[in-house]
Structure 1
Amino acid sequence: MHTLDFFNHVPENIIIVTPDMHVLAATETYLETTGRRREDILGKHFLLEAFPNSEVPYEENPVKLSIDKAIETRQVDYLDVIRYDIAKPAEEGGGYSERYWEASHTPVLDEAGQIRYIIQNTHDVTEREKARREQAMTEEKFRFLTDAVPQLIFTMDVEGKLTYMNKRWADYTGIPVEDTLQGNGWEQAIHPDDLQLVRKRMNEVLPRGEEFQLELRIRNKYGMYRWFLTKSLPMKDENGNTLLWVGSSSDVQDAKQLVQELLESNEQMSELADQVQKAYTKAEVERRTLERLIMKAPVFFCILRGPEHRYELINEKYKQLLPQKELLGKAVEEVLPELREQGFIHILDEVYSTGKEYVAEGISVNLDRYNTGELEEMHLTFIYQAIYDEQHQINGIMVCGYDVTEQAGEKRD
């Protein structure tokens, strides 16, 4: 086999150009990745003719600058991830295809030490970068939503150290979030008479991994204290170990003061009833706000009701798992019969009958996501947690988790 034939079949995205940027050779893999034919690019100027990019001036083109540096230093130059769109052939409608690349440029010298040609080895990382940008956008939306709700939203690690506080905290207390997260910076906003109680409660519940709530006073930026109801829930792994805590603090100053004042006078009982109704309405508005927050959260979430596990609430991330399924009002087994053979219907029944939560980490689940009859293997981390009514009877199950399929694939690689 001819030497050039060996090169053409190298399973890498490799192209060879002269010092003046004309294309000498390219592998079949490169041609397939870029959607080009060999006869259309050989002998052409690499950046002006073979792969033009009208969005970037030629002299500022990062690929040109990297090649120039490799020629100048006679050393390999590595190009960080860049967006470099590829022109589409006319038969495909023309225009450009959005693409992201990583590349290296290796100069090859002759016996006299002069540059003979430059080897470019590229990696198409478009899907990875799009996924990363989509994830960043999702997280940005989540931060926006947590900043929009009236509660002070926070997370803590297993030791009780704050790891996140929404902007509402800074707006209310006047303490920057970064200062709050340093050491025990949050303590400076807590009323001295309540601080010991907070520490005591945290020392009690953190080792046990139990839900906790308490009322405490938090100082605002004007130096005045208001009462807040603080609640926190632990997120646990399959072994029952706490992974992190998620909590919120809701301003109950007005309701607390109102109830106290109205209860002091029997003559104001009718007014009390009216104000309680208003407080309930406010709480309902806040509940709906939190529900919208859940719908946009960067984790998949749903609520199943009754012993048949019928879908009552589904957020956007959950819909992305099963984009072709009609779920609301239907039983899990009705839309996902494949789950019974995999044992998940039995697990749901156990959670519903016993109240004992179930946590899975990186578990393999086969789903018919697109209603084609074909099962796709997913790797998911999630929790099944019972929901109780006012009589402390189980009436549903909450499902919350992450899609870790991509991470699982990277580990196998």
Structure 2
Amino acid sequence: MLDLYKLLVHLPDAVVLLSPDLKVLEATDEYLRVTLRSREQLIGKDFLKEFPDNPKEPESKNEQLLRKSLETALRTKKPDNLDVLRYDIPRSDGSFDVRYWEAVHTPVLDEAGNVSFIIQKTSDITERELNKHALAVQESKFRFMADAMPQLIYMTDENGTITYYNKRWFDYTGNSASDLQWEKSIHPDDLEVLKSKWKEAQRSVTPLQAEVRMKDAEGRYRWHLTRAVPMRGEDGKVMMWVGSSTDIHETRLLVQELLSSNEQMVTMADQLQETYQKAEAERKIMEQLIQKAPFFCCILKGAAHRFELANENYQKLMPAKDLIGKTVVEALPEVVEQGFIAILDKVYQTGEEFVAENMPVKLDRYNTGKLEDVYVTFIYQAMRNEYGEIVGILVFGHDVTEQALLINKAKALGISLA
């Protein structure tokens, strides 16, 4: 004869039987396993009292939702589905295990149509939900970092259709967040050339690079270096394109001014053009978001501004310095009297970003005690945790020393810069 009780308790699903007054009648071994209970601890007990809310985690306070679903099944005498909810499981030592669940409550009726008991079938989906939350956090970090970059950042799908712009794109163009059209931001004389290069890049699956004039929110056009690189999947097929537009207006105007000046300036113009082309060729826009980025970047954690990360371009500013794990004061004592610690403190305390263009800074780049003049364009951007608290500072920027020195030299020779 079939032993129905033995069959019930050995079902591979997490199932518990409840009386109409929500007392535990029986449970499968799988249910006892996932809820960290023994049969002796659970049978005959008040179901909801055995699984109270986690008092330390507001997100997990879902006893009311559980009770509502059970009461709905009792009242309607029909199954009631309980959507995904966080409901932490208490341990014997008073701690709680973080858990996410899906459940269905099915009433079983007697011959008179009254509810004899309720079957709760539960699915532990904790791993799936934690992975989903982790992915959401990573996406949030990427968007924060993309929005903090000085460049105009964009992404497309595999066919070249725009799917994302960072905040600086909308700030520069003045377009609304729902307007993803890029054509109207390009100078009409540059549009067909850019479209042709973009089509060729897609055909050959090679990086796009073009210099175009882009219209800002005031209706003015400024020269930008636009680059895009394809991201491939494991099968080698293009999944998406990631690109950026970097303002090169002043540099391009200077190049044009020098190239059109007298013979005395020819040599200088050639040197500037060579330097400019070399710098642009070496930069690998978005090849890697941090370590291989075409700008210097570092992350400073805590009120002491301790280096947590410094990419290759940042390290190039001071190749003989050991940065990671040290505070800015420890690693770069020479910048204290130059006012940079005070600026960092203000950004950390207020959350207001700090932007500087062509700012001179004296650095002991090789730990020799000799200070060198370096010119940088950069931004300090406060980093916040999920509660909105400031936990560090993101630093992004460019080393513009060569350009600044050439501009200063050009000004000394009487060249007027637009």
Structure 2 length normalisation: TM-score? Answer: 0.61
Confirm or deny: 8 A CA contact 1:142 1:296 kept in the other structure: no
C-alpha change, 1:200 and 1:23, in structure 2 (3 Å) is: same
Confirm or deny: 8 A CA contact 1:158 1:244 kept in the other structure: yes
Matched, 1:215 2:211: yes
Aligned to 1:199: 195
Aligned to 1:76: 79
C-alpha change, 1:270 and 1:177, in structure 2 (3 Å) is: farther
| In structure 2, distance between residues paired with 1:203 and 1:270 | 37
Confirm or deny: 8 A CA contact 1:69 1:77 kept in the other structure: yes
| In structure 1, distance between residues paired with 2:200 and 2:71 | 64
| In structure 1, distance between residues paired with 2:142 and 2:234 | 26
Aligned to 1:173: 173
1:71 maps to amino acid: L
| In structure 1, distance between residues paired with 2:6 and 2:236 | 58
Aligned to 2:46: 45
C-alpha change, 1:295 and 1:45, in structure 2 (3 Å) is: farther
Give the match's secondary structure for 1:215. strand
Superposed, which structure 2 residues align to 1:84-163 within 5 Å? 84-90=87-93, 94-163=94-163
Aligned to 1:10: 11
Give the match's secondary structure for 1:294. coil
User: Mean alpha-carbon deviation: is it higher for 193-202 or for 128-137?
Assistant: 193-202
Q: CA deviation at 1:260?
A: 2.1
Q: CA deviation at 1:3?
A: 2.5
| In structure 1, distance between residues paired with 2:130 and 2:34 | 17
Q: CA deviation at 1:283?
A: 7.8
Which protein has the bigger helix share? 1
Q: CA deviation at 1:37?
A: 1.1
Deviation readout 1:285-311 (Å, 9 max, x if unpaired): x969968833599xxxxxxxxxxxxxx
| In structure 1, distance between residues paired with 2:72 and 2:267 | 81
C-alpha change, 1:139 and 1:42, in structure 2 (3 Å) is: same
Q: CA deviation at 1:41?
A: 1.4
Structure 1 length normalisation: TM-score? Answer: 0.62
2:289 maps to amino acid: L
Give the match's secondary structure for 1:177. coil
Deviation readout 1:72-115 (Å, 9 max, x if unpaired): 2211111111000111112xxx2111111111111111111111
Structure 1, gaps ≥5 residues long: 298-312, 316-413
| In structure 2, distance between residues paired with 1:75 and 1:128 | 28
| In structure 2, distance between residues paired with 1:196 and 1:95 | 64
C-alpha change, 1:247 and 1:296, in structure 2 (3 Å) is: closer
Confirm or deny: 8 A CA contact 2:35 2:89 kept in the other structure: yes
| In structure 2, distance between residues paired with 1:45 and 1:210 | 65
Structure 2, gaps ≥5 residues long: 294-308, 312-418
Q: CA deviation at 1:271?
A: 8.7
Give the root-mean-square deviation of aligned CA atoms: 3.6
| In structure 1, distance between residues paired with 2:63 and 2:97 | 20
Confirm or deny: 8 A CA contact 2:103 2:121 kept in the other structure: yes
1:47 maps to amino acid: L
C-alpha change, 1:295 and 1:71, in structure 2 (3 Å) is: farther
C-alpha change, 1:115 and 1:265, in structure 2 (3 Å) is: farther
Aligned to 1:254: 250
Confirm or deny: 8 A CA contact 2:186 2:212 kept in the other structure: yes
Confirm or deny: 8 A CA contact 2:62 2:85 kept in the other structure: no
| In structure 2, distance between residues paired with 1:110 and 1:176 | 61
C-alpha change, 1:314 and 1:26, in structure 2 (3 Å) is: farther
| In structure 1, distance between residues paired with 2:142 and 2:62 | 40
Q: CA deviation at 1:2?
A: 4.0
Superposed, which structure 2 residues align to 1:14-413 within 5 Å? 14-48=15-49, 50-55=50-55, 61-90=64-93, 94-180=94-180, 185-236=181-232, 241-263=237-259, 264=261, 293-294=289-290
Give the match's secondary structure for 1:179. coil
| In structure 2, distance between residues paired with 1:193 and 1:223 | 15
2:86 maps to amino acid: R
Aligned to 1:339: none
C-alpha change, 1:41 and 1:277, in structure 2 (3 Å) is: farther
Confirm or deny: 8 A CA contact 1:149 1:290 kept in the other structure: no
| In structure 2, distance between residues paired with 1:68 and 1:165 | 47
Aligned to 1:366: none
Q: CA deviation at 1:261?
A: 2.4
C-alpha change, 1:136 and 1:254, in structure 2 (3 Å) is: same
Deviation readout 1:127-170 (Å, 9 max, x if unpaired): 11111101110111011111111112222233321122222211
Give the match's secondary structure for 1:178. coil
Deviation readout 1:314-335 (Å, 9 max, x if unpaired): 99xxxxxxxxxxxxxxxxxxxx
Deviation readout 1:318-367 (Å, 9 max, x if unpaired): xxxxxxxxxxxxxxxxxxxxxxxxxxxxxxxxxxxxxxxxxxxxxxxxxx
Give the share of equivalent positions with the same residue, in percent.
43
Deviation readout 1:234-292 (Å, 9 max, x if unpaired): 23457754333222111111111122223425666899799899989x989x9699688
Give the match's secondary structure for 1:206. helix
1:255 maps to amino acid: T
Confirm or deny: 8 A CA contact 1:169 1:177 kept in the other structure: no
Confirm or deny: 8 A CA contact 1:75 1:107 kept in the other structure: yes
Give the match's secondary structure for 1:14. strand
Q: CA deviation at 1:119?
A: 0.6
Q: CA deviation at 1:190?
A: 1.0
| In structure 2, distance between residues paired with 1:58 and 1:214 | 54
Q: CA deviation at 1:30?
A: 0.6
Q: CA deviation at 1:58?
A: 8.8
Confirm or deny: 8 A CA contact 2:284 2:292 kept in the other structure: no
